[in-house]
């Protein structure tokens, strides 16, 4: 109510000022006419004085008096006309004032109703971020989201035999709750029937049975089923499953898509755009998340205040079938078949980057084409890019062997190196990995890198016993990735593995 009182008061004040401007007399023309009359009268007196002093003759004085009198009459007539125009009808003046007041006050309120946000104050960026965090922390849980959903549509048509098999599977898993394979089958078939709640409950039991052996795909499947059960809403429980997925595999595409969706739902379109843009750049057009991202990302960019134009889909990368078929052709035909696709993939990885699978595919493709020198250069670059991800390194090294390249050198301390070094003395351990750790540290300090590489450096320093330096690296990484919760979780997990205490606030 206070807002509306202030708004109406300001509108009335503006209308009053405009009213005063309308009613104020226009005296400038009148003042000019009066001044002219005074000048002319002074001229008449000056003529009489000149005549008395004998400066002019009587005939000349009469002629000048006649001309001045004519001017006096014209000025007086103009003054009377202007006065009549200024007065005008009273009703017209006050009518104009009333129309003006209504237009100012009413028009302002009408515009604010359509364009403004009554009751919603101006918010700073810091306050908007804080509100988004509050919305994220206070959003409904999975059960509340499911309860708000409309009744589920009828199940898809299935045969009686299939329905009986599902009933038997449900009964079997109920009796043998510790059977991981049975839970996996039940989750799959319940999802096929559209029973997403029953599907994610079975998948949740599967994840619990596997414990630490649960894969990123297991956690991602659980999150996806929970989100489907909630009608596309990412609940806190689904967020926890996504966080576990990204901790195990930061490159998991489905989890990265849903993480961006969660940011969008909790008022952070800026973070959603960042996650989705990076994922879209690293994914092919046939990736299951590419279509929904392309359908929304321009609107998300607009909400984030980013000037963004959706790029055209990239050309499909060379598949294993294309490469296998090309290997049976002559050199010329093979080059003509896959050279264009290889060049497209190479250029995109060089300018936009991509997941390790695409780097591995490029290395294999160049090996088929016989371009081992270029394949080796790509291999060296890929080992540098993914130095902190043991899984990516293993994938890229396997592709290099498929391409007929020599055993590539290790570019950074792998998980096996760290485990082996932990059994050595301090001196031997330092001699084994000091050079690789320093190389990784120098590159991160000058060029930066993904959170996986920072986490790898922290773990390596912990193995070497350099906890002071590891703590400094951890604090620097937490500052760099302050707005990226999955990255923060990775870095904190690495710090715990390195034996570091929790950072002080």
Domain extent listing, the chain: 2-110, 181-303, 320-402, 424-497
**Is the pLDDT assigned to residue 413 strictly greater than 70?**
no
Give the residue, 418 or 201, on which the prediction is more confident.
Answer: 201
Give the range among 1-15, 191-205, 404-418 with minimum mean pLDDT. 404-418
Contacting residues for 219 by C-beta, under 8 A, at least 6 apart: 207, 241, 242, 244, 245, 248, 255
**Is the pLDDT assigned to residue 483 strictly greater than 90?**
no
Residue range 23-57, pLDDT digits in tens: 555 544 556 667 777 787 788 888 788 778 877 88
For range 452-462, the mean pLDDT: 82
Residue the block writes with tokens 């908007």: 128
Measured CA angle at 369 (ends 364, 374), to 5 deg: 70
Residue 15 pLDDT: 66
What is the rounded average pLDDT for all residues in the chain? Answer: 76
Contacting residues for 367 by C-beta, under 8 A, at least 6 apart: 375, 402, 403, 404, 405
**Is the pLDDT assigned to residue 309 strictly greater than 60?**
yes
**Is the pLDDT assigned to residue 232 strictly greater than 60?**
yes
**Is the pLDDT assigned to residue 237 strictly greater than 50?**
yes
pLDDT band at 256 (very low <50, low <70, confident <90, very high): very high
Q: Are 445 and 484 in contact (CB under 8 A)?
A: no
Residue range 419-441, pLDDT digits in tens: 544 444 445 444 445 666 776 77
**Is the pLDDT assigned to residue 328 strictly greater than 60?**
no
pLDDT band at 487 (very low <50, low <70, confident <90, very high): confident
pTM: 0.46
pLDDT band at 68 (very low <50, low <70, confident <90, very high): confident
**Is the pLDDT assigned to residue 235 strictly greater than 90?**
yes
For range 318-329, the mean pLDDT: 52
- In CATH terms, the fold of domain 181-303 is 1.25.40
Give the range among 103-117, 138-152, 301-315, 444-458 with minimum mean pLDDT. 103-117
Give the range among 198-207, 391-400, 491-500 with minimum mean pLDDT. 391-400
SS3 content of the chain, % helix, strand, coil (to 5): 75, 0, 25
Give the residue, 57 or 209, on which the prediction is more confident.
Answer: 209
Residue 412 pLDDT: 44
Residue range 211-220, pLDDT digits in tens: 999 999 899 9
CA-closest candidate to residue 457, choices 429, 419, 498: 498
For range 343-364, the mean pLDDT: 78
Give the helix/strand (H/E) hosting 288.
none
Burial 80-116 (b: 16+ CB within 10 A, else e): eebeeeeeeeeeeeeeebeeebeebbeebeeeeeeee
**Is the pLDDT assigned to residue 222 strictly greater than 90?**
yes
Tokens of 74: 């014209």
Percentage with pLDDT > 90 across the chain:
13
3 state SS of 24: coil
Give the range among 56-70, 302-316, 479-493 with minimum mean pLDDT. 302-316
For range 80-85, the mean pLDDT: 58
Give the range among 64-78, 253-267, 338-352 with minimum mean pLDDT. 338-352
């Amino acid at each position: 109510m206070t807002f509306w009182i202030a708004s109406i008061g300001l509108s009335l004040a503006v209308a009053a000022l405009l009213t005063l401007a309308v009613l104020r007399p226009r005296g400038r023309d009148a003042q000019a006419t009066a001044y002219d009359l005074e000048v002319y009268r002074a001229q008449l007196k000056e003529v009489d004085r000149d005549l008395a002093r004998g400066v002019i003759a009587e005939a000349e004085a009469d002629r000048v008096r006649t001309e001045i009198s004519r001017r006096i009459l014209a000025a007086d007539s103009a003054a009377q006309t202007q006065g009549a125009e200024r007065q005008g009808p009273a009703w017209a003046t006050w009518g104009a004032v009333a129309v003006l007041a209504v237009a100012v006050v009413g028009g302002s309120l009408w515009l604010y109703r359509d364009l403004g946000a009554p009751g919603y104050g101006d918010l700073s960026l810091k306050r908007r971020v804080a509100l988004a965090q509050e919305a994220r922390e206070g959003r409904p849980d999975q059960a509340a989201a499911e309860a708000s959903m409309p009744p589920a549509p009828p199940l898809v048509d299935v045969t009686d035999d299939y329905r009986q098999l599902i009933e038997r599977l449900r009964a079997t898993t109920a009796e043998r709750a510790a059977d991981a394979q049975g839970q996996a089958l039940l989750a799959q078939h319940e999802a096929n029937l559209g029973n997403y709640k029953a599907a994610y409950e079975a998948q949740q039991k599967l994840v619990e049975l596997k414990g630490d052996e649960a894969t990123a795909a297991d956690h991602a499947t659980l999150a996806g089923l929970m989100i489907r059960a909630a009608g596309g809403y990412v609940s806190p429980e689904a967020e926890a499953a996504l966080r576990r997925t990204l901790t195990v595999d930061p490159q998991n595409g489905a989890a990265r898509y849903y993480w961006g969706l969660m940011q969008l739902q909790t008022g952070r379109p800026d973070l959603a755009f960042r996650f989705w843009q990076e994922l879209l750049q690293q994914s092919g057009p046939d990736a299951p998340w590419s279509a929904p991202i392309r359908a929304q990302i321009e609107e998300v960019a607009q909400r984030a205040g980013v000037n963004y134009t959706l790029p055209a889909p990239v050309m499909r990368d060379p598949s294993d079938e294309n490469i296998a078929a090309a290997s049976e052709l002559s050199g010329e035909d093979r080059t003509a078949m896959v050279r264009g696709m290889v060049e497209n993939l190479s250029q995109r990885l060089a300018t936009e980057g991509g997941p390790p699978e695409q780097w591995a595919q490029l290395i294999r493709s160049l090996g088929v084409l016989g371009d081992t020198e270029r394949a080796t250069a790509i291999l060296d670059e890929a080992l540098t890019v993914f130095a902190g991800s043991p899984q990516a390194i293993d994938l890229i090294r396997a592709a290099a062997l498929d391409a007929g390249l020599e055993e590539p050198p290790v570019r950074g301390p792998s998980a096996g190196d760290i485990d082996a070094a932990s059994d050595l003395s301090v001196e031997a351990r330092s001699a084994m990995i000091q050079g690789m750790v320093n190389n990784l540290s120098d590159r991160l300090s000058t060029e930066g890198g993904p959170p996986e590489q920072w986490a790898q450096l922290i773990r390596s320093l912990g193995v070497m016993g350099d906890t002071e330096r590891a703590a400094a690296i951890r604090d620097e990484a937490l500052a760099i990735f302050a707005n990226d919760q999955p990255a923060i979780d990775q870095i904190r997990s690495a710090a715990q593995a390195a034996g570091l205490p929790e950072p002080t606030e």
